[in-house]
Amino acid sequence: MSQPLRLGIAGLGTVGVGVVKIVRQQAALLTMRTGREVTISAVSARSRGKDRGVNLDHYGWEDDPVKLATRDDVDVYVELMGGEDGPAKASIEAALKAGKDVVTANKALLAHHGQALAELAEASGSVIRYEAAVAGGIPIIKSLTEGLAANEITRVMGVMNGTCNYILTRMEATGQGYNALFEEADKLGYLEADPNLDVGGIDAGHKLAILSSLAFGTQVDFDGVELEGIQRVTIEDIRQAADMGYRIKLLGVAQMSGRGLEQRMSPCLVPAQSPLGQLEGGTNMVVVEGSDVGQVVLRGAGAGEGPTASAVMGDVCDIARGIRYPVFGQKADSLKRAPRAQSALPAPYYLRLGLKDKPGAMAKVAAVLGEAGVSIDRMRQYGHEDDSAPVLIVTHKTTRANLDAALAGIEQTDVVTEAPVALRIEAV
């Protein structure tokens, strides 16, 4: 039997405690499967005295995660504090410089500093593993990087923020509006401290940026993700979409074309009968399309103590087994900087306008759309009681550039009462 693999765990929130529990409760299983004992040398968190429902007496304690990360009796530094900078970044850098391996669930850190960290890890012969950073318990990082390694990946899509999917599916189920469900999610503790990370699509955007890098061999480019949150999706949009056989999901799509890498995280219409359309509540789903494998779909819990800790410990098991490869699946200096192709590929769009109740309003809208080269597939105008008439339009396939030109033109007319809402209809 080899030497034990010794962990240092920073961050004892839900996930950290889950990891401690697995190390203790599954000790025999971990040893059986990896051929090594997995132990915890020391831990670190903000408050030492707090009762976390798990006995930490046998582990060393460090107030400073940087000290934890560089302890002689730590082989793998497990970073579960989160945050794109600050102690998480400092301690991971310290761990790598000290030649330690790193396991983290920190999507923000990797989305912003992935390339620099990959280079640092390579220089010191360390690995960074981060299965828990994307889609919780679903082994998507592993599937994409290893299982599907022989495929040229053509598209990656996913619903990767459980809170947004909870809000959207509850809106449909209860008929309540966005604000009511936002409050419900808040009460249930589903929202990040900064809710915009969830409902603004940022958290899911971080995840998409990581998947893009793995799929296309590119440097992580979070700033290249077109981000749009779910805040402007109304119950009316959801009903109209349902009427047409669609559901609205906060969907991430990454796609490489001749024009470059397109990364979008935005509310989209997807067929109600598709696996993505049928996804309820907090569950996550990632769809990978490859040159040879075709479409592979993975589905599971995207958050929570057990699923996230399962992913963290899967990475620990890999390191215990000696599974090692570069941080983004290929050498850091071989990762390309892809040009950004913002919504380069055409698609149909769903538009919602509030039209002023006066003669010729609709004609103006139709004219502006036509001038921008956007043609109308279906249109409905509804009865109304105030002075804003809801108009729904489904366009034929158009580029986002043409659509944006049309929307800007429509806003410049004096016939709309608010900025138009445009949701892409994604072929999944």
Q: Does 314 bind a copy of itself (CB under 8 A)?
A: yes
Decide whether 182 or 328 has the Cβ nearer to a copy of itself.
328
| Choice from 115, 126, 212, 310 touching a copy of itself (CB under 8 A) | 310
Location of structure tokens 């082989």: 75
Nearer to a copy of itself, 217 or 409 (CB): 217
| Binding residue (CB under 8 A) for a copy of itself from 87, 137, 354, 420 | 137
The alpha carbon of 389 is separated from its chain's Cα centroid by a whole number of angstroms, namely 36
Distance CA 215, CA 211 (A): 6
Rg, the chain, Cα only: 24
Specify the stretch interacting with a copy of itself by CB under 8 A; choose among 114-122, 201-209, 251-259, 294-302: 294-302
426 is in an annotated binding site: no
Give the C-alpha separation, 324 to 301, whole Å. Answer: 26
In the complex, least distance from residue 150 CB atom to a copy of itself, rounded to whole angstroms:
3
18 binds a copy of itself (CB under 8 A): yes
Tell me if residue 50 is catalytic: no
249 marked ligand binding residue: no
Q: Smallest distance, Å, CB 265 to a copy of itself?
A: 23
Q: How many residues bind a copy of itself (CB under 8 A)?
A: 59
Catalytic residue among 97, 100, 187, 207: 207
| Alpha-helical runs (H) found in 175-201 | 178-187, 196-199
| Contacts of a copy of itself in 206-225 (CB under 8 A) | 217
- Is there binding between residue 99 and a copy of itself (CB under 8 A)? no
Interaction of residue 152 with a copy of itself, rule CB under 8 A = yes
The dihedrals phi and psi of 180, each to the nearest 5 degrees, come to -65, -40
3-state secondary structure of 54: coil
Cβ-Cβ contacts under 8 Å for 206 (sequence gap 6 or more): 107, 108, 110, 111, 133, 222
Helices (H) and strands (E) in the chain, counts: 14, 16
**Euclidean distance between CA atoms 8 and 406, whole angstroms:** 55
Cβ(255)–Cβ(154) below 8 Å: yes
Instruction: Please report whether residue 241 would count as binding a copy of itself according to CB under 8 A.
Output: no
Least distance from a copy of itself to the Cβ atom of residue 356, Å: 43
- Comparing C-alpha atoms, which of 196, 226, 238, 215 is closest to residue 286? 215
> Which chain residues interact with a copy of itself by CB under 8 A?
18, 22, 26, 29-30, 32-35, 131, 137-139, 142-143, 146-152, 217, 275, 278, 290-301, 304-307, 309-311, 313-314, 316-318, 321-326, 329-331, 334
Please identify every residue annotated as catalytic.
Answer: 207
Q: Which residue ranges are tagged as binding site for L-homoserine?
A: 192
